[in-house]
Amino acid sequence: MSTLTIKRPDDWHLHLRDGAMMDGVLPHSAAHFARAIIMPNLVPPVVTGDQAAAYRDRILKALPDGMTFDPLMTLYLTENTNPADVAAAHASGLVKAVKLYPAGATTNSASGVQDFDAVRPVLEKMAEIGLPLCVHGEVTAPEIDIFDREAAFIDLVLDPIRQSTPGLRVVMEHITTSNAVAYAEDQDDTLGATITVQHLMLDRNDMLVGGIRPHYYCLPILKRGSHRLELLRAATSGAPRFFLGTDSAPHATHTKENACGCAGCFTAPIALSCLAQTFDEAHALDNLEAFVSQNGPAFYGLPENTDTITLTKGDPITIPDHIDTDAGPVTVFDPGRPVFWSVQ
């Protein structure tokens, strides 16, 4: 197969930031994706319906003429989140999910949750109205090794939340381990899971062997190759509970290349090319459309896109070193091997 036409994809986990950075990165997602779940971890975070509406307006104002893109807004869950505000934001059609960050888990997560009992009223309201909870699935206790934080989160936080809140729809975002795959495959259809480009293509050796590669550093961190293979099996299987969330996370290059570099991979410009390459290598191109265009809308209760996008296999694509923004250059993710699929 050298040409593949699929329904236009969506990105179910995207960081756009704000201001000058957003102006620079937004066109690279809008060029390929029709919709995206927009992460709310700004400074300050997006915690109310009014703040989500204002953020959506800023995104649409920054969208270049001629591009179509629908930002699907989320609220940042805090211990002070008001269940009534969440319900009203959902009823208006504005908010499509609420995001749970354990406090200190990743970029701009200081306002996240420490006491999970404190957010129980919000979770119960969400289960009642069918509003999904998107979870950054890592514990942050210092005694737990960074490579074990996802597995510990499943046992210590996620499963207890789901057991105590029947009917709550949950998205395990950017899963990275065989533990997460096994858990997801053993649950009912109230659970979905997103997988990123980098976790399908790389493991921790790629980040650490022969020198540290800061542009592969993300959270959750890359894991062993055996975990990557399980993620690949899940993503390419066509199973409806797995779908794309790029977690494309732009940082100015100088904030990645320093003594305490930021976590995140900026994959938006080449995400679809990389995924086509990955599915092609796995002899699973027939399931690419399910992963990027069908499973996500089905979980969120939204229609599939009616327009299409075409990918073509040819000479290796040229991956730009960086994109320029008024907030500084942003280095583009490079998987370190040839990618032969381009988006037309």
Our measurement of the distance from residue 248's CA atom to the centroid of its chain's CA atoms, rounded to an integer in Å, reads: 7
Q: Taking a C-beta distance cutoff of 8 angstroms, is the pair 179, 198 a contact?
A: no
- β partners of residue 72: 37
Distance CA(336)–CA(344), nearest Å, equals: 22
Rg (alpha carbons) of the chain, rounded to whole number: 19
How much of the chain is helix, strand and coil, in % rounded to 5? 40, 15, 45
Helix or strand holding residue 77 (H, E): none
Distance CA(129)–CA(217), nearest Å, equals: 37
Contacts (Cβ under 8 Å, ≥6 apart) of 148: none
Specify the residue for token string 């319900």: 87
Which candidate in 247, 307, 315, 321 is catalytic? Answer: 247
Contacts (Cβ under 8 Å, ≥6 apart) of 20: 325, 326, 327
18 among known catalytic residues: no
Taking phi over 0 as left and psi of -120 to 50 as alpha, with beta for the rest, 105 belongs to: alpha
Distance CA(220)–CA(136), nearest Å, equals: 8
Distance CA(47)–CA(101), nearest Å, equals: 12
The dihedral through the CA atoms of 111, 113, 114, 118 has a sign that is positive
Tokens for 45, please give them: 């975070």
> Which of 266, 273, 262, 246 is closest to 337 using CA atoms?
273
Which residues are annotated as catalytic? 247
